[in-house]
Structure 1
Amino acid sequence: MPFPRFLTPIRFGYCLALVSVIALASTVRSVAAADSSDGIVAVVNAEPITQKMLADASVTRYGKDVLDNVINRQLIMQACNEKGLQVSEQEVAEEINRIAAKFKLTTPDYLKLLDEERDITPGRYAREIIWPMLALRKLVAGQVEPTQQEFNEAYLAQFGEAVKCRMIMVADKTKADSLHREAVANPAGFGNLAKMNSEDETSASVGGLIPPIRRYTGDSRLEEAAFALKDNEVSPLIQIADQWMFLQAVRRIPAATPPTNEMPAIREQIVDRIRDQKIRGAAGELFAKLQRDANVSKVFGNADLQAKFPGVAAIVNEQRITISALASECVKRHGGDVLEGEINRKLLTQGLKKAGKQVSQPDIDQEIAKAAITYGFIGEDGKPNIAAWMESVTSDGQTTPAIYIQDSVWPSVALRKLVEDEIKITEQDVKQGFESSYGERAEILAIVLSDQRTAQKVWKMARDNPSEEFFGRLAEQYSVEPVSASNRGKVPPIRQHSGQPLIEREAFALKPGELSGIIATADKYIVLKSQGRTTPYVTDLEAVRSELVNELTERKTAAAMASTFDRLKTSAEIDNYFIAAKEIAATAQR
């Protein structure tokens, strides 16, 4: 089970006030300068988590992925150094300001948007996206400036004359020839011909209509064919890849003429778009060349090379990237999440120690086997296929067996250990579980309303006209719940002990055809109409007792695990200096 994630307020205890200030100042420096000191980044119930512990954990989980990014930036940096090129902090800041302005946002709002919606911090955005982009732009400067011809073509593609067309497309040449002859003989029937025969479903559904064709926007053969047509005329047959198609011109759309005062902004927009497109192409070629010509040795993850080059993560054209530099990058990008995991692990370790319990290897093995069964990895012998399950877990290329065990299996086992003594399954639990899983269910129609006044109006109409057909029309018209609205009130049958006591009690109290009162639950108002009860297909509790007990045990265990972790988290004294330092740094930047 992955660690739960919560936002925990930072609490600075009085007794730790002095050490808090010292550690906080140290962490601010380490976050800003990524130094190698082994300061404290968090304290959990008086037990510290050091910067080295955080760095090691971050590298273990993300080192392989982050190293590729670091190597790429190193290659770009080396290429810039060879040509005497530099990208200053001011240039990076100006580019961010310019991009923010393009979206009509202030820079702080734009950076906040990136952080909240794409999980890209301002520092990472500047370091990993803007700087490489500007560096590549300088490296390929002679290749990316738009020519006048490129500008003219892009302008025509956006504002030039267009041809509205219909299209028929099929894969079979013989069929295409036959349809083409029919279209030429009867141009007025082109739309219906396309609807009945074209294999491009999107355009076929609207009689073959496709977006207007402009010059310099796609395949030149289609553009030339379209612009050669008069209204209603049918083009020759054209082969594009393995498809055969032909067009019919519907009408010409005149070129647009933007206001003169908007032309400077339009020119800048078009030039930026062309430049960006060319940069992407040139950057791809440049990267391919840099990587092809480079001598790169990835030491990290290679036991033999790590023994030969201790403390080194990679060697790029004889320049070394150290493990500490890699750790710094990993912490910058993933430190917050990794530290949260380390805090959670510390809480669980402390909880196990206090309870006098330990996680053993057989416990780990059993949890892995249980996960394999849960996800359907079962061998022909009916036993869990551990090898196949582990292969699936590690198939992303980043998760190793050790990380899977440490981050998912061990926490789950630890929480099970902490709650195992409190899980009791009573006879009442079994009885209710049997009723919920195998007992009769109430079949109902339902209307869900968002306000009481409408609910009262609908209920009165349903009472005055008690037919199911009328109730269904009311549901279709008034219900705010999509399932009941689209199915004329029909919803899945209601079972007992499902966690909806008000609705259950009302539904099972109704006789077939009866109307409920207005049921107020949360912010909704519900009206039910009974259609009767289902017939249970299992009536012998003893036949399914074992299965029920296992299911109830798992359900109670999961609930207890979540509750126990919440208790450990909320009752703990946690001082997270890493997050505090980042907040201070962000405030200072603003």
Structure 2
Amino acid sequence: MPLQIARLKSWLPSFIRFLPQTLILAVALAVVVSDVAAQETNRQPNAGQQNPSVVAVVNADPITRKTLGDRAVERYGVDVLDNIVNRHLIMQACQHNGITVTEAEVAAEVQRLAAKFGLSMDSYLKLLQEERDISPNQYSREIIWPMLALRRLVADQVQVTNEEFNRAFLAQFGEAVKCRLIMHESRTEADKILAAAKADPTQFGNLAKKFSQDEASASVGGLIPPIRRYSGDSRLEDAAFALEDGGVSELLQLGDQWIFLQAVRRLPAATPSAQAMPAIKEQITDRIRDEKMRSAATELFAKLQTEAQVVKVLGDEEKMRQYPGAAAIINGQQVTIAYVAEECISKHGEDVLEGEINRKLLMQALRASGKEVADQDIRAEIERAATSYGFVGKDGGPDVQAWMESVTADGKVSEPIYIADSVWPSVALTKLVEDNVQITQQDMQEGFEAAFGPRVEILAIVLSDQRSAQKIWEMARDNPTDDFFGKLAEQYSVEPVSASNMGKVPPIRKHSGQPAVEKEAFSLKPGDLSGIIATGGKYIILRCQGFTEPLVRDPASVQSELTRDLQEKKLRESMAAKIDELRKNAEIDNFFTASKKKTPRVAAKP
């Protein structure tokens, strides 16, 4: 199963890549069965008719589906509406061209793709859910249906010819030339290196190591992957295939770089077995078709957008007054806000509902404690955030305007949503815990030691099992030098930093959250070898190199800075603990998430 997961992870992005970026939005939430496309285009679902009116109850306080829809539209409505508009354009194109994609065809395509990975449909869909967070319903509706529909729409443009297949086959299995390469940005320097290479071809590898500016190949003497026909730049291929073994090419300009090659040896064409040929043919054909489809689909979709008559209402106050209840009008067909709300709920309902549940808990806790969040509290929190992130004006005060522009710069978060989702909860939690946050003398002492105290300079080896740790510890004990310890770390440590730096890791400080490691490290003297430290499922061996000098010796000189940092840290810890406590002690019935778990394996008719 791990092999299939790896293959699936590497394949899925390229599979979706056949859709141009604008079209990725267009296919979102497309229906599976096109023989109900006309019904889908005009269907405006009524949440009250099709779904329970209450999606969750928090301590006997209900959250309605209407509220969930409103909150989801506030956060995702504009993006989802774009998806819906684009989807309708594709649907209308299918209707205009008499294109139908049946449920059976969708299921057959899912089955075919699953078989490519040697998986059953159930296992394949489960992998998609676990590895890519794509539900079976979403996969069928948002990826498979539009892919099949687009194939039909541009079918006359994506047929794979015998010539195209043969060229692609040669690029993958044909004769190849193993080469070395030297690259340089200077024509003058490249000419000098080329002259040296032609004078003594046996030195080509050394010249590559010394002079080539292609770092990936220079470190291995200029060696590059074998060059095949029809796999890249034809000039490079012609130059490689024109060389005898050991021969050196003339200078070629690629972009702003100058390169030349040396042929190492010819590699004969591969001959796949007869049993493997059907799968290879399918793979190559799919790849060529998908490449052609990307281009054809981009052109088609651009044409649909250009020719469409779309009035976007949602988010435009004037148009919302003009077209009450409408989110958009697409070629004369109305999309209601209720429909957009249902689409938002379908894609983002769980996340939005979690936020609403937390909001309910915080409001209930505030009422119980007799506290409230006032406008001035909101302003103070925004100013605090601006200051903490370095948005400070010339007068030294917070530059709130610049901060808000930064928060909303990507267009994904509006100012009201930022306040509702980030500022208000932070203020509410602060109100609930601020009276309980106290800084003790011990906190000050530990904070000072952690931030400004001495650190232990060490070498470390991290092992994954105790048996290996015992073996390596004995080797380190018998040869007590930094150099030997570093070589052991390089060879055996499973921790990348210590393995790549001959055991050297960042100095260990007190109160860093690793008590077992800290206790052992601070007990060592320079040159000492630690015992085997078992922590977090790993086994650690340390060798002490000495101690750093304290950054600050007088705690009073940093008291205000330390107090502020500790206050912030303890406040954040208390806030996190408080929301966990509220959720743990609450009676929460989440009907929406429970119902989502009952979604059918493969999407059926909506």
Task: Please state if 1:309 is matched with 2:314.
Answer: no
1:474 to 1:143, Cα distance in 2 relative to 1, 3 A: closer
Q: Which residue of 1 aligns with 2:239?
A: 225
The unaligned stretches of length 5 or more in structure 2 are 1-43
Partner of 1:16: none
Q: Deviations over 1:212-271 (max 9, x none)?
A: 222222222222333333333333433333333333333222222222233222222222
Which one of 565, 583, 588 corresponds to residue 574 of structure 1?
Answer: 588
The equivalent residue for 2:599 is 585
Native 8 Å contact 1:42 1:574 kept in 2: yes
Deviation string, structure 1 residues 166-224 (Cα, Å, up to 9, x no partner)? 33333333444444444444444333333333332222333332222222222222223
- For 2:351, which of 337, 341, 351 is the aligned residue? 337
Alpha-carbon distance between aligned partners in 2 of 1:199 and 1:470, rounded to the nearest angstrom: 34
CA 1:303–1:275 in structure 2 vs 1: closer, same or farther (change >3 Å)? same
Alignment of 1:62 with 2:82, yes or no, is no
Cα distance 1:261–1:483, how it changes in 2: closer, same or farther (>3 A)?
Answer: closer
Secondary structure in 1 matching 2:134: coil
Whether 2:371 is the aligned partner of 1:357: answer yes
Aligned to 2:20: none
1:571–1:589 CA distance, 2 compared to 1 (3 A): farther
Instruction: Determine whether 1:406 maps to 2:416.
Output: no
On the 8 A contact 1:61/1:403 being kept in 2, the answer is yes
Distance across 1 between alignment mates of 2:236 and 2:455: 61
Match of 1:9 in 2: none
Q: Is the 8 A contact 1:38 1:52 kept in 2?
A: no
C-alpha offsets along residues 383-416 of structure 1, whole Å, 9 cap, x if unaligned?
Answer: 2222222222112211111111111111111111
Larger deviation, residues 116-125 vs 51-60: 116-125
Give me the whole-angstrom Cα distance separating, in 1, the residues matched to 2:150 and 2:234.
30
Contact 1:165-1:250 at 8 Å conserved across structures:
yes
Q: How does 1:439-454 map to 2 (within 5 A)?
A: 439-452=453-466
1:322 paired residue among 331, 336, 343? 336
SS at match of 1:585: coil
1:203-214 correspondence runs (5 A) = 203-214=217-228
Question: Under a length normalisation based on structure 2, what TM-score does the superposition of the two structures give?
Answer: 0.84
Correspondence for 1:288: 302
State, as a whole percentage, how many aligned pairs show the same letter: 62
CA distance in 1, matches of 2:459, 2:168: 58
Q: Report the Cα offset of residue 449 of structure 1.
A: 4.9
Tell whether 2:562 aligns with 1:548: yes
The aligned length equals 561
**Partner residue in 1 for 2:258:** 244
Q: How does 1:237-276 map to 2 (within 5 A)?
A: 237-276=251-290
Which one-letter code corresponds to 1:193 in the other structure?
Answer: L
Alpha-carbon deviation of 1:543?
A: 2.2
Structure 1 residues 250, 343: closer, same or farther in 2, change over 3 A?
same
Contact 1:36 1:324 in 2 (8 A): no
Distance 1:104 1:339 in 2: 38
| 3-state SS of 2:276 partner | helix
Shift of 1:541: 2.5
Taking only aligned residues, the RMSD between alpha carbons, in angstroms, comes to: 3.0
Match of 1:105 in 2: 119
Q: Could you say what secondary structure the match of 1:154 adopts? A: helix
* Structure 1 residues 432 and 283: alpha-carbon distance in aligned structure 2, compared to 1, 3 A threshold: same
Aligned to 2:7: none
Task: Report the Cα offset of residue 568 of structure 1.
Answer: 0.7
Deviations 1:38-59 (A, max 9, x none): 6111111111111111111111
Q: Which amino acid aligns with 1:247?
A: L
In structure 1, stretches of 5+ residues that fail to align are 1-29
> Which residue in 1 is equivalent to 2:59?
45
> Aligned pair 1:366/2:372, yes or no?
no
Residue in structure 2 matching 1:94, options 108, 127, 139: 108
On the 8 A contact 1:73/1:132 being kept in 2, the answer is: no
Question: Which region of structure 1 is more displaced relative to structure 2, 30-39 or 233-242?
Answer: 30-39
User: Aligned residue for 1:298?
Assistant: 312
Q: Residue 63 of structure 2: SS of its match in structure 1?
A: strand
Trace 1:432-471 onto structure 2 (pairs within 5 A): 432-452=446-466
Whole-angstrom distance in 1 between the partners of 2:98 and 2:86:
18
Which region of structure 1 is more displaced relative to structure 2, 562-571 or 175-184?
Answer: 175-184
- Say which SS state the counterpart of residue 233 (structure 1) adopts: coil
Change (3 A) 1:146 1:450: closer
Which range moves more in the overlay, 506-515 or 359-368? 506-515
**What is the CA–CA distance in structure 2 between the aligned matches of 1:232 and 1:469, rounded to whole Å?**
41
Q: SS in structure 2 opposite 1:392?
A: helix
Structure 1: which amino acid aligns with 2:181? M
- Residue 571 of structure 2 is aligned to residue 557 of structure 1: yes
Aligned partner of 1:21 in structure 2 is none
Instruction: Using the TM superposition, give the Cα deviation of residue 370 of structure 1 relative to its aligned residue in structure 2, in angstroms.
Output: 1.9
